Structures are given as C-alpha cells and as structure tokens.
Structure 1
Amino acid sequence: MTGRIVILNGAPRSGKTMLARAVQAHVPGRWLNFGVDAFNATLPAALLPGIGLRPGGERPDLEANLPALFGACFSAMADFAGHGFDVVADLGLHTHYARPFDPMALLTDELAGLSLLFVGIHCDIETIMARRNADPQGGFYASGPGIPAPVQNWQDAVHAGKDYHLELDMGRLTPEDGAERIAKALGTAA
C-alpha cells in the first residue's frame, strides 16, 4: 500500500515542527518526518542552508543547487511513500529568489499520482516574534524588538500564490488540534 504525504508549508516558527511531531504521535500511520531540517541535516556545510534559503535572494551563489536539491527531497518523499511509509514534511516553499525558481513545479512532478495533502500553516507575526525571542537559536533566528526584514519577508512570500487543501492557524491551535484536523482531512481518526 502506498503511503500518504502531508506537506506543512509556512514561515519559520509558525508551528510546523511541533505539528509534524503531533502528526507522528496522533495520526494513525507509519509517519516519517522528512522536512527541511531533516533534509538539510544530510547536506555538507557548503550547500547550507539548502532548501531553507530565505526569501529575498539570501544566497544567489547557492540558488543553482535548488532544483536538484528540491527534486531530490521530493523524490525521496515519493520513494518513502512508495515503500508504504507516510511522510509529513515541514517546509517553507516560496518563489522569492534572486533568479526565477518555483519549487511547486518540482513538487507537482515528483509527487504526481500520490496521496498528497498540502497544508498552509499560518501564524500571526507577533506570535512568531515571541517564539523567536524566546529561543533565538544562538542568533540563527532574527529576533529582538520590532519585525526584522527577514521575518517579514517570510510572512509575505511563503503563502503567495499557493492553493491549499487545508489551512491551519498554528498561532491559535495546539499541535494536537492541528493533527486532529489533518487526520480528519486524511479520512482517519486521530
């Protein structure tokens, strides 16, 4: 039996990772978490931040790698599903690079014919900033007073032009509540 794929698309600190863990814990299935952090953990330092490049042309020198990296990521998801595993992936898909690139085209090609639930993960920017300020990851996350430009760029870019099967506000829902809604959308009981 082919596994299901759930893509959680949203800005960093919007609640995707905690939701992915809740899906693994509460939605029936054999769930592998294969999102941006898991994928990027396989990359050498020279390719980082890999598929986690921020909107706004952060590293034009790395953008030539994106089609191959996203293609490999989506192909691995398809392979896991083909072997009967369910996959939940927390990503931040956008098109705001220094040169034109849309990872959605690769996602559509690589995951064609598979059971895919594309979920938009929303969260108000004030909650995102509170989460960043509470744990700035040693300066990895832009934090401090106000809204730093990289945070606003994520908010503006990540959902632009996307059509979702389901949208969740993870600034208001608990991860368990979000997992329950995903289970319902998949036709399973959490």
Structure 2
Amino acid sequence: MFQKEVKGMVDVIILNGGSSSGKTTIAKCLQNSLPTSWLRFSIDDLIDAMPDAMMEADSGITFGDDGSVSPGTEFRTLESAWMHGIGEMIRRGARVIIDDVFISGVDSCNRWKAALEGLQVLWVGVFCDPIVASVRERERADRVAGMAVSQATSVHVGIHYNIKVDTTKTSPEECARIIWQKITP
C-alpha cells in the first residue's frame, strides 16, 4: 500500500516519527518558512488536552517505565474525534501540519487516511538514529526514558511515505527545506 504521489496543492503534511526525532522542530520550521499560513498540531497537544485521570486509566493512555505507550479505548475515541476535527478544519480551508507518532503503525496511518479522505496529504517519515534520539530525550524533561529507542524504528514499520528525512545529521531547517521543495511547484 504505497502512498499515492502528491499532485497539485497539498492540504496537509503529516510528520511521523518516534519520540525526540525532531518532528516538532521541523513542523515549526516548515510553518515559519511556507509562503502561506499553516496551522500546526501535535499528538502531544491532544494528550495535553486530556484530563489527568485519563493518564492513569487503562481506557485512557498509559506510559510504561520502559518507554512503552498504551492507548486505551477512551483515548482512541477522543483521538478519532480530534483527527476528524482536524480533517474538517482542512476541508474548510485551513492548511495543517500534523506531528504524530504512529504507535500502532499502519493502523495509525489508516486512522488518519479515514479522517483525511479526499484531501491531498504529504506523508513524511522523520527518522533519527535511536542513540541520537535517546540523547535528545535525556535532555528533555517531558519524556519517559526509553520512548525514543522503542519508537525510533517501530513507528515506521509498514508505512510508505512520499518523502523521508533523517535528523540524525541533517538540521531541522534543512529537513523543512527538503519537504518544502516537495510541495512547491
């Protein structure tokens, strides 16, 4: 299931990569360099918007001491509403950059495809060496140790992208430039 080639105007850019891979920084660089206005949303925005009780419930989302992430049924319901809401914003004229972590791989991708049906999506894989991502993770106060290593490759399994960038040795600005070149005629 290869992503179709993007033709014409892109409505939405989805950046998928593991924790601490550089997605948010790339998204901000893109947002600030694109010639038109783009909104930016992250899976972290959704998690931050949830009540604290959902961080402790099996039906919510839990983070293991080993860096694992377990989304439950209530989380998935709210995630679906969030995804479809973003899709509706795009249909009403907003352009959006999404920063996500496809914890459930192809299933995560398919949930976005359903929410964004009929829209032009640029699927971007954001890769980073697990050791480099782990160092970045340790430098941040808001991450569970082990997330970067556990997600670095698993979130990409079975996903086919229009473009891939690797932040191991490439700056966020250069990655944004590579993506920008893909969407401008």
- Does residue 141 (structure 1) correspond to residue 144 (structure 2)? The answer is yes
Q: How many residue pairs end up in the alignment? A: 173
- Does residue 71 (structure 1) correspond to residue 80 (structure 2)? The answer is yes
Q: CA deviation at 1:12?
A: 0.6
- Does residue 157 (structure 1) correspond to residue 160 (structure 2)? The answer is no
* Kept in 2: contact 1:3–1:81 (CA 8 A): no
* Kept in 1: contact 2:11–2:95 (CA 8 A): yes
Percent identity, aligned pairs only, is 26
Aligned position for 1:131: 136
Tell me the secondary structure at the aligned position of residue 13 of structure 2.
strand
- Does residue 81 (structure 1) correspond to residue 81 (structure 2)? The answer is no
One of 166, 169, 174 as aligned partner of 1:169: 166
- In the aligned structure 2, how far is the partner of 1:56 from the partner of 1:16? 18
Amino acid across the alignment from 2:54: L
Q: CA deviation at 1:104?
A: 2.1
RMSD after superposition: 2.7
- In the aligned structure 2, how far is the partner of 1:53 from the partner of 1:79? 30
Amino acid across the alignment from 1:129: S
- In the aligned structure 2, how far is the partner of 1:43 from the partner of 1:16? 21
Q: CA deviation at 1:10?
A: 0.4
- In the aligned structure 1, how far is the partner of 2:115 from the partner of 2:63? 20
Tell me the secondary structure at the aligned position of residue 72 of structure 2.
helix
Give the TM-score taking structure 1 as reference length.
0.79
Give the TM-score taking structure 2 as reference length.
0.81
Q: Deviations over 1:21-51 (max 9, x none)?
A: 0011001221111111222222111223967
Aligned position for 1:145: none
